[in-house]
Every structure is written in structure tokens, then in C-alpha cells.
Amino acid sequence: MRNLFLLFFLVIFAWACLPREEPISTNPALKLNFSTDSLKFDTLLSGQVSAAKRLWVYNRHNESVNISQIRLAGGTSSPYKVIINGKEEPAINEELLMAQDSLLIIVEYFAQETDFDQPFEQKDSLIFLTNGNEQEVKLQAFSQDVYVLGKLTLQSDSVFSNSRPYLLTDTLTIDANATAFLREGTQILAQEKSAILVFGGLISTGSVEKPVIIRNEKMNIEAPNQWEGVYLEQPGREVRFEYTQIKNAHIGLCMQHSNRPLILRNVELINHYSHGLLLNDADVIAENSIIAKVGGPLIGVVMGANIQANHLTLSTAGTGLIRRKPALNLRIEPESEELPVDPNAQRPLEVHIINSIIWGASSQTDEIHIDEQAQTVHLEYNLLRTDQDFGDTNNYNRYTAQELFQDISTDNYKLLEDSPQIDFGIPSNVTKDILDRDRDELPDIGAFEFIPEADLPTE
């Protein structure tokens, strides 16, 4: 009898614990809520797939609702893909959403080829049908068609178009008898392990409004080591970069064993892993240029070089990498980690730097190393991060720990209003700054001339 009573009690208890079926409301006044009313994706190159975005669907009510249908308005032809409860379908039916519960939807975008030169907008929407109500979440993305360059050798002079970007998937080689011309607005977007190898010539002539851009393919990634870089291997023709941005590589520019100087005017070498500029038995003439955010030296020299620099901004601040070498690392070395060294190279090391900033993070007290075997060292009217004293023959340099730039996190190396480099330079043949603005009779050092906001032209 006692056991029967206990059994009866357990049955009643178990019945009481059974979940009660929650009523499903058909009230048309009950609407869904969403974490956002639109999902916007970054511009992708045709053939690329976006990172997944999340959309949360909420039932804020105290009753369950049945979502009759969730579908892409574009159906099976939509460039978007949705995953709901682990199911990848353009539409699903009869999705129960309990009271005060939520549903997660994963959305991806596949950039389809459109055969348009300019970025092409691709819209769609997610449609939700609940109790006779139709609600939507808009989807928006842009695709950019590209010219694809695989492993390729240019054997004659070639002009690159600026109508749409080039996607570099392997090594682009410029033969000794060829010159590549990059017109203003040209973009070369490089995949991992791809590189540009120059034995002939390369002339890149951008403008302030339409710079030439050479960088990694994923525009939303600003980080070093995304591709290999530009290598100038005994180039037999002119190599010149003007208004050109080279970003996010292993090495920005590397030049070896050349009888012609590398010309850099209004150039940006930013976010590189090993070197911004590496010279091995080679010369450079650089004006109005920025080299910044590099894990190793901003400018490195192996086995001699002649450096003629005027109005440079060199800064190691904000790299996010552990740095073990100074910003200016100019050596005559019997060996190198990066390059094969020719023991017969006889080029002396000559350094002429004026009107420039050589700067670093606060943890680095000395950003300059110049080999004691250097034949000529001329540093004048510069702002230097160093604990060295260059002596009476290299006067008019300043040494400061003061903050210099407006916002290095966004690669904005314009001068602060109280920057010590304002009006500190010496007049030279570089009469414009990197933005093509006039320099005054007391030029500011670095690539930018400071102009107060009140004096800026208005549109």
C-alpha cells in the first residue's frame, strides 16, 4: 500500500512537470523585431565571399508566433546566402518562435561578376511573413570586377588601365626589355604570396586625386605581410614612383644592384613587415614621402647606397609588432637575412637627409644606425628620435619626445598645430608638399606643410 501511494505521487509529480504547450498567437498585431533593419557588406572583388554577418530575430511578446516563411526576395538567383537553424536555403517555411525567444540568421554575400568597371550595387532583402504581416531586412553590397593577372612576364612596354583594378594572383615579372606604365588611378590588388618583380622599368604616375594603389586584395585588412612586395632586381630602365601608395606587404620596395637611382616622389610605404624600403648596392632619391608602421627598418641598406632624401616622414609608431631594429638602419654588411650579398659590391654609403622626420614609438630611444664606414653623412634640419649627437658638421637637427602627428591610427601624418617641425625647415627645390600644397618661405619638415583650418580652401 505504501509503495502504491509512492508510485501514485511520482506519476502525479511527473505529469505536473510536463511542459505545457504554449499557445501560438495568430494576432496580426504581433510583429517581429530585428537586431538591425539592414545588413551592409564591404565592397568585394568579383568571385570573393564576404565574412558572415549575423541577424537576430526577436519575439518580444508573451505568446509564441509562427513565422510562415523566411525567404530571400531574389530567390535562388540572389547573390546572398542565408543559414537558419543550420539549414542553408533561400527560403524556409513554418518556423516557430517561442515567446521572448530569438532566432539567429547567418548571411553571406558572394560577389558576382557584373562586367562593369565601377563598383556595382547588389541589393536584396530578407522577407518575413508572420500572421499576415510582411516585414523585411534590407541587404546591400557592392561588387567590383577586376582584370585577373596570373603568373605573367611582360616582354614589351605595357600600359596598365585605370578602368578597373587588377587582381594579382602570382608573380608579375617585368622583363629587362620592358617598362610597365601605371597611370593615375591604377589599382593592383595582390593575393597572398604574389609579388612584382622588375628587371626592366616601372613608371607609376598617380595624382593627389587619383593615386596609384598597390596593396593586398582584401580592402578591409590593413596589416603587414599580406603579399610579398615590389622587388627591383638590377633594373636596366627607369624606375619611378609618383603619388603611389604601396601597403601591407612583406617588403614595400626592395632595389638591388642598380646603376639608376630609384625615384620616389609623394609616395606612401605603409604597413610592411620586414622593411619599408630596402636598398642593396642601390641609390634612391626620395621627396615628400611617408614610410611608416613597419616591423623592421623603415629604410634599410646592405652593401652601400646613396640616399638623397628631402621632406620625408618616417615613423615606426603604431606598428603593433615587436621591433628590434631602428627606423634608419644603414649598414655595409657581409651578409643579410633578407638578401644575397655580392662581396664584390663597391658602392660607398652616402647619406644626405634634410627637412625630414625620423620618429619612433616612445619605447625606442634611438631610431638611427648609420655604419661607421659611411663615406658621407649629412643630416640637416631634421627632427630625430635618437640619443646620438651628430656633431658640428650636421647642425640644425632637433630632438624631441613630443607627439607630432594628428592620428597615426588612421595613417594621418599631418602635423599637429603645436608640432615642433612647423617652420623649422630650409627652403629647397621641393616647393610643394605631398598634397600638392605650396610650402612657404619657412617650410615645415616632413611630407606635410601645416595649414591652419581657417586658411584651407572651402568647396
And the C-alpha cell for 357?
A: 622626420
pLDDT tens digits along 369-395: 888 888 888 888 988 887 776 654 445
Distance CA(369)–CA(384), nearest Å, equals 12
Q: Are residues 325 and 401 in the same domain?
A: yes
Asked, for residue 92, whether it belongs to a domain, the answer is yes
And the C-alpha cell for 178?
A: 620592358
And the C-alpha cell for 291?
A: 614610410
Task: Check if the beta carbon of residue 164 is closer than 8 Å to that of residue 46.
Answer: no
Q: Are residues 115 and 156 in the same domain?
A: no
Q: Are residues 116 and 165 in the same domain?
A: no
Domain boundary among 143, 164, 199: 143
Q: Are residues 202 and 322 in the same domain?
A: yes
| CA dist 331 → 180, 250, 302, 310, 374 (Å) | 31, 20, 6, 20, 8
Q: Are residues 157 and 271 in the same domain?
A: yes
Q: What is the pLDDT along the chain (459 residues), one digit of tens a residue?
A: 555 555 555 545 444 444 455 678 889 889 999 999 999 998 888 888 888 999 999 999 999 999 999 999 999 899 999 998 888 888 989 999 999 999 999 999 998 888 778 888 999 999 999 999 999 999 999 988 899 999 999 999 999 999 999 999 999 999 999 999 999 999 999 999 999 999 999 999 999 999 999 999 988 889 999 999 999 999 999 999 999 999 999 999 999 999 899 999 999 999 999 999 999 989 999 999 999 999 989 999 988 899 999 999 999 887 777 777 888 888 776 555 666 656 666 688 999 999 999 987 656 677 888 888 888 888 889 888 877 766 544 457 777 656 678 888 888 999 988 888 899 899 999 999 999 999 999 999 999 999 887 565 555
**Strand 147-149 with 166-168, pairing:** parallel
Q: Are residues 161 and 176 in the same domain?
A: yes
Q: Are residues 309 and 451 in the same domain?
A: yes
Task: Check if the beta carbon of residue 178 is closer than 8 Å to that of residue 200.
Answer: yes
Q: Are residues 122 and 242 in the same domain?
A: no
And the C-alpha cell for 318?
A: 603604431
In sequence order, the 6+-apart residues with CB closer than 8 A to the CB of 136 are: 73, 125, 126, 127, 128
Domain of 289, in residue numbers: 146-455
Domain boundary among 96, 115, 143: 143
Asked, for residue 7, whether it belongs to a domain, the answer is no
Domain boundary among 143, 177, 207: 143
Q: Are residues 369 and 392 in the same domain?
A: yes
pLDDT tens digits along 15-27: 444 445 567 888 9
Asked, for residue 25, whether it belongs to a domain, the answer is no
User: How many structural domains does the chain have?
Assistant: 2
Q: Are residues 95 and 201 in the same domain?
A: no
Report if pTM > 0.85: no
